[in-house]
Structure 1
Amino acid sequence: MTSITKLPCEVMTSIMRELGNIRFLLPCLLTCRYFYACFKADLHLAADILEQQLTPALVPYAIAVLEASQLNPRTGIAVRELLETFIKEPSKLRSQFRTLSVPLLVKIGRLHDPIQSLATQFANNAWAHIINDQGSQTDRNICLSATENYRFCRAFYKFELFCNLFRSTMPTGFVSVSDEERRWFFAQYAPWENEQLTSVHDFLELKLSEGSYDVLAHDVEFGTLGIDYLTAGGDNGWRQVWLSQGIDFIYRMTTETSYDAKKALLKSSYGASSAYLYDALTSIPEVDLDDDTPLAQITDEDLKTMIPTSNDQDIDKGPFEAWRVAFKDLPRSMWVMLTKNSGLRERAYVFWNLDRLERYDLLELFKNAPEDSELLRAVNGWGDMFKSFEERSKIKQRGGSGYWSKDDESRIVWPARQAGGCLR
């Protein structure tokens, strides 16, 4: 039987192109020298594997995120230039793809994996809520179309891009990028696309809340600091800082099983600052505040003049129709993140294709969706939280540290003492 190393180099590279994920490339190359030689003979092999992993439509988003992470200095002018290119001339970013070094391609691939994982989780969670709303009328298994999967992933890439661009690099919280650039960022997108980013924010905040709860609710040090683990949204500054650390941080917080590792991850952001995404999403757009014409009374022709043009490949009408149902009674100044739409966002209402909305009569369902969400309902226990702050602070004053539970100090670590009670 012919050895695989006897196959022509072109055949070997064709086989390697089917790896599906760039993380498999290095183990493949380490298998034998011939594989590595074939890889060296094909300059675009790594890029081809990654493009298959991402899909071509997401390449500009991945490059923009990479560029944003390397922007130095991160000034308002530099941020605006990158965004101008990304939004208005994405082909320029796409053309850079095959010029990237293999380490940078691997870096992109490592970020895409958690993005795809979280996007899939969000879609599944949202569909589970819809199943609960409709019962047997809805298929239990969700199979996203290619367009829907792109739409979910795209929103997570936008989240990461925003964090990379607008998170301060200064421990003092000094921000060299002004609110003007934040407003400009959102002004380039249709309101239903901004609502997609809002939905991702809510989902990631819920995942972060769940992943960090055990540490924040029980650790003595965090209790002494009085870190709120219940409040959702912009009023919870600590949580907004942790969200601003980006996708990889949040993903690690949700997948890490070690209590100590989670604590170390949270502490690694001491001194970091927020990208203020929640504040930006809830800010009133720069429109005529005296114009109280509701969306339902705006003609399609007039609406087209209010919505920025897009070079994006996503032309399905599903997100627009769902958004129009949610905002039909509201004027343009209210086309922002609204608390009363939290239940809709939990159901990913602006992510589904029109054919899915029509097949399952989801637009009618969305008219009666609950206003609250799991994220907003996770606020019970205020009294217990503040009581725990007091108890944990007392333990800290006595020199204790570690894991506190109500009426149980068995896991508290106390400083060693010499005979006579003196600290060593």
Structure 2
Amino acid sequence: MSTLTEMPCEIIISVLRELDDVRFLLPSLLTCHYVYSCFKQNPGVAVDILQRQIHLAIIPYSVAVLEATRLDPRYDTDVYELLGTLYTEPSKFTERLRTMPVPLLARMGHVYELIHTFATEFASSAWTHLSTDQESEVAGSLVLSPSEYIRFLRNFYRVELYFCLFRSAPNTPFREQLFFFNQPPWETEQVACVHDFLELKLSKASYDVLAHDVELGELEIDYITAGDNQFRQLWLSQGVDFTHKLTSESSYDDKKSLLKSAFGGQKADLYDKLIEPLETDLDDHTPLSGYTEKDLAAEFTPMEGQDTDKGPFEAWRVTFNPLPPSAWVMLTNNSGLRERAYVLWDLDRIEKYGLLKLFDNAPKDSELQHTPNDYDEMNESFKERSEICRKGGSGHWSKNDESRIVWSK
């Protein structure tokens, strides 16, 4: 029986090439010197694995996110060059793979797996909402089409790229507007959908700590306001790795430590940017219904590799038809629609299940909405926890229950 070291290098490389995740390559290379030697003769196998793992259409975004974590955001030219390449020559990012060391490729594989997990969870959650809506014709389990899968992934990457570029950059609104330059509003609304989903994930994962911890109550950290919430924007700005760790962590103390670790860090307020209309839009009061498809096509010139499916456009147009350009993205009363990923479905699916009708009747509020009574209870909890803190208490507070409070001697 042949041993591993007696096998031809070609077989070893063929086996390595079948790995599902480029992160598995490094441990494989450490199994023995012979495997590592075979890899050194065929280093391109690492890129082959990554290209099997990550869809070709997503690789430019994957590389852009990696590059964004390594450039100095203080320099406008670096940001302009990265965004310009991504928008006009994305294939150049794909070409860079061949010169990247395995640890960087592994990092790209790690981020992809996190985004894949979040994207598929969002799609499934949105489909569940649609299936339970009144008069719904949606049935069966969700199987995303290839174009839908890419669309969901791409927009999670866009959000991650935004945070990587701008969380530690000086306040330069023009650069942030460049991020959305020539991106049609229905695609910006896709980014808004992902923002809301990630905020909901973070909100649920942090609620127990923020609503009950004495120290964080003393700081009066708002744990229920959606969108315009500076602490949530700070935590979202830390990226998908941070959000995934928070949502995966079960320990109360570890969650608190993770949340506190971001204090003093930099943030990029994506919500604020999404609700801020472009200056050029403010003087145009023409409703969307006054624009023809030809008008919109002329204003938003398609870029290389841009999504051509009409589903997102049709869903967006029906929703915003009576509104002017300054109100074409991120309206508060469309929260329920964004929760249903309404601008992320293919036209075939929209027509098959009559989704435009469902969108028209979808609840306006999302799970992130709260009542005035919720705010009263939050503010009362701030007062009670602050009083406990001044008396030397710490730990977990609950209304009318101080059994888990730890008192200093």
Give the shorter-chain TM-score range: over 0.9
CA distance in 2, matches of 1:122, 1:320: 20
Report matched runs for 1:55-204 at 5 Å: 55-72=55-72, 74-133=74-133, 137-168=137-168, 175-204=169-198
* Letter paired with 1:346: E
CA distance in 2, matches of 1:153, 1:140: 22
What TM-score do you get using the length of structure 2 for normalisation?
A: 0.95
Runs (5+) with no aligned partner, structure 2? none
How far apart in 1 are the matches of 2:314 and 2:12? Answer: 47
- 1:309 corresponding residue in structure 2: 302
1:82 Cα deviation (Å)?
Answer: 1.4
Displacement of 1:265 in angstroms is 0.6
Residues 244 and 378 (structure 1 numbering): CA distance in 2 closer, same or farther, change over 3 Å?
farther
> 1:290 & 1:26 partners in 2: Cα distance?
56
Name 2:366's counterpart in structure 1.
Answer: 373
Q: Which stretch shows the higher mean deviation, 132-141 or 78-87?
A: 132-141
Equivalent residues of 1:75, 1:177 under 8 A apart: no
Q: Which moved more, 1:405-414 or 1:224-233?
A: 405-414
What is the CA distance between 1:52 and its match in structure 2? 1.3
**Aligned counterpart, 2:215:** 221
Q: Is the 8 A contact 1:130 1:347 kept in 2?
A: yes
Q: CA deviation at 1:28?
A: 2.4
Aligned residue number for residue 250 of structure 2: 257
Q: Where does residue 276 of structure 1 map in the other structure?
A: 269
CA apart distance, 1:260: 1.0
Kindly state the Cα deviation for residue 386 of structure 1 after the two structures are TM-superposed: 1.1
State the distance in 1 between where 2:245 and 2:224 align: 20
Alpha-carbon distance in structure 1 between the residues aligned to 2:330 and 2:58: 25
In 1, Cα distance between the equivalents of 2:220 and 2:74?
A: 32
- CA distance change for structure 1 residues 157 and 288 in 2, over 3 Å: closer, same or farther? closer
Work out the CA distance in 2 between the residues paired with 1:248 and 1:378. Answer: 31
Amino acid at match of 2:349: R
Q: SS in structure 2 opposite 1:349?
A: coil
Q: In structure 1, what is the equivalent of residue 34 of structure 2?
A: 34
Provide the C-alpha distance between the structure 2 equivalents of 1:158 and 1:84, rounded to a whole number of angstroms: 14
Paired with 1:250 and 1:109, the residues of 2 have a C-alpha distance of 17
Aligned equivalent of 1:345, options 321, 324, 338: 338
Q: Describe the superposition over 1:300-358 as per-residue Cα deviations: whole angstroms up to 9, x where unpaired.
A: 21111111321125221111111111111112222121111111110001111111111
Contact 2:136–2:358 (CA under 8 A) maintained in structure 1: no
Q: TM-score, normalised by structure 1?
A: 0.92
Contact 2:184 2:300 in 1 (8 A): yes
| Number of corresponding residues | 409
1:207-250 Cα offsets, whole Å, 9 max, x none, are: 0000000110111110000001011112x111111111111111
Which stretch shows the higher mean deviation, 376-385 or 44-53? 376-385
Aligned to 2:22: 22
Of 262, 279, 282, which residue of structure 2 is paired with 1:286?
A: 279
Q: Which runs of 4+ in 1 moved over 6 A?
A: none
RMSD (Å) for aligned C-alpha atoms: 1.7
Aligned residues of 1:128 and 1:140 also touching (Cα < 8 A): no
SS at match of 2:15: helix
Q: Percent identity?
A: 55
Q: Helix, strand or coil: the match of 1:392?
A: helix
Deviates more, 1:140-149 or 1:372-381: 372-381
Q: Report the AA paired with residue 129 of structure 2.
A: H
Match of 1:211 in 2: 205
Q: Secondary structure at the match of 2:26?
A: helix
Three-state SS of the structure 2 residue aligned to 1:374 is coil
Query: Can you list the C-alpha shifts for 1:136-180, whole angstroms capped at 9, x where unaligned?
Result: 732231111121111111101100100011112xxxxxx525001
Kept after mapping to 2: 8 A contact 1:230/1:379: no
**Which stretch shifts more, 98-107 or 284-293?**
284-293
How far has the Cα of 1:3 moved from its partner?
4.5
- What is the CA distance between 1:34 and its match in structure 2? 3.1
Q: CA deviation at 1:134?
A: 5.5
Letter in 2 for 1:180: F
CA shift for structure 1 position 188: 2.5
Deviation larger for 14-23 or 341-350: 14-23
Which amino acid in the other structure matches residue 335 of structure 1? Answer: W
Structure 1: 5+ residue stretches without partners: 169-174, 417-424
Which residue number corresponds to residue 171 of structure 1? none
1:350-365 pair list within 5 angstroms: 350-365=343-358
Secondary structure of the residue aligned to 2:358 is: helix
CA distance in 2 between counterparts of 1:43 and 1:277 reads: 39
